[in-house]
Amino acid sequence: MIDSYTVFCAPLQGVTNHVWRLAHATIFGGIDAYFSPFMRIEHQQLLKRDINDVSPVNNQGINLIPQILACKPNDATTMALHLKDEGYSHININLGCPFPPIALRHKGSGMLPYPHEIEALFRALKPIPELSFSVKMRLGWQRPDEWQQVLPLFSIIEPKFIIVHPCIGKDQYKDSLNLEAFQEIVDSSSFPLIYNGCIHSIDNVMSIIHRWPSLHGVMIGRALASNPALLVPEKVTPDNYHKFYLEIYNHYAATLTGGDHQLLSTMHAFWDWFLLDANHKCRKAIKKATSIEKYENAVNELFNSL
C-alpha cells in the first residue's frame, strides 16, 4: 500500500541540501519529492547558499519543492518570484520551524500565534501568477490549539496540501506528539493533509496509513538522515551506505575551498545524523578526528564493522 502513498523527504537544515538529495536519489530513492531547507532573506538579500541549493542545475533528475521562511510579505514575494524565475511552480511555506532564534522573530512556528501576519503573507503571495503553494506547520508555537485560528486562512492560497507535525514549536524535536489535536485537523481541513513527525520505520508509516486512510501521504526527515535506506529495505547493505557516503564526501572534498578544516567540519555535521546506530566507538573517533587521515581511518573502520 505504501507504493501508492505519497512519501516526502522533509527538509533538514544543514543536512538535506542538494548534495545529500542527489546522493539519496541516486543510491536509494523511494521518495516522491524532496523539500529544500528553507530559503530566507537576510539583510534584504537572498543568501547565496540558498540560491545555489535550489538551483535547477544542482537538482537535476529529482522532484524538488523549495521551501521559504518569512514573516514579512515583501521577503516572501521576493523569494517566490526568484523561484518562479528559476522555473518552479510550487513553493512550500514554512510555518513549522521551532528553532527559538527564528520562532521568536515570528517566523516558522513562531508565526502561528499571529494569524493577522499569516493572512498578510498569504495575501501577498496569492496574486503571483502560475505559482501554487503548500504549507508545513505545527499545531502552534505555545499552545496546541493555535492552528484553529490559522486553518481558515488557508482558503486564501488554496494550498495543494498541508503538512502537519502534530506538536508545538516550544517542544522543538521532542517526541511529544498530540495525535488528538491532529485528529481535529483531519476532521476540520478541506485540503489534503500530510502527516509529519517521529516516523522511524515502514511499520510507523503503515500504522499512520491504517489510522488515517484519508491522508494524502507522509513526510519523513530525521529517520531518513540517519538511515537513507529506510523506505527501501532491499537496499540496506553496507555497500550502498558506503556508496552514499562517498558520493557526499567526494563532492565536498572536490568543491570546498576552505581546506581540511572546512571539510572536516562539514563531514562532522553529516555524521551528526548518518548511521546513528552504527559502531559507537567508530562514530566517536570520527567526531573527534582532527586530521583527514584520522578521519578517513575512523570512517573505514566503521564501514568495515557494518
Q: Convert the pLDDT of each residue in 49-83 to its tens digit.
A: 999 999 999 999 999 999 999 999 999 999 999 99
pLDDT at 174: 74
C-alpha cell at 241: 551506505
Final residue belonging to a domain, choices 204, 233, 262: 233
Tell me the CA distances in angstroms from 53 to 46, 61, 89, 103, one per residue in order: 12, 14, 17, 23
Segment 115-140 mean pLDDT: 97
pLDDT at 3: 61
Question: Residues 100, 140: one domain?
Answer: yes
Question: Residues 115, 168: one domain?
Answer: yes
Percent of the chain scored above 90 by pLDDT? Answer: 95
pLDDT at 30: 93
CATH number of the CATH domain containing 138: 3.20.20.70
Question: Residues 153, 181: one domain?
Answer: yes
The model's pLDDT over 200-227, given as tens digits with 9 standing for 90+, comes to 999 999 999 999 999 999 999 999 999 9
Strands 6-9 and 217-220: parallel
pLDDT at 1: 44
Final residue belonging to a domain, choices 206, 233, 260: 233
Paired with 68 in beta bridges are 39, 93
Final residue belonging to a domain, choices 233, 264, 285: 233
Distance CA 65, CA 194 (A): 14
pLDDT-derived band at 5, boundaries 50, 70, 90 = confident
Question: Residues 167, 259: one domain?
Answer: no
The model's pLDDT over 89-113, given as tens digits with 9 standing for 90+, comes to 999 999 999 999 999 999 999 999 9
Question: Residues 162, 62: one domain?
Answer: yes
pLDDT-derived band at 4, boundaries 50, 70, 90 = low
- DSSP secondary structure string, 150-167? HGGGGGGT--S-EEEEEE
Q: Which domain holds residue 254?
A: 237-305
The model's pLDDT over 168-196, given as tens digits with 9 standing for 90+, comes to 999 877 778 999 999 999 999 999 999 99
Question: Residues 20, 64: one domain?
Answer: yes
Q: By mean pLDDT, which of 131-140, 157-166, 167-176 is the weakest?
A: 167-176
pTM over 0.85: yes
Question: Residues 151, 217: one domain?
Answer: yes
Segment 239-245 mean pLDDT: 98
Question: Residues 97, 187: one domain?
Answer: yes
Q: Report the number of distinct structural domains present in the chain.
A: 2
Question: Residues 89, 123: one domain?
Answer: yes
Q: Is residue 251 scored above 60 in pLDDT?
A: yes
Question: Residues 242, 177: one domain?
Answer: no
Question: Residues 147, 290: one domain?
Answer: no
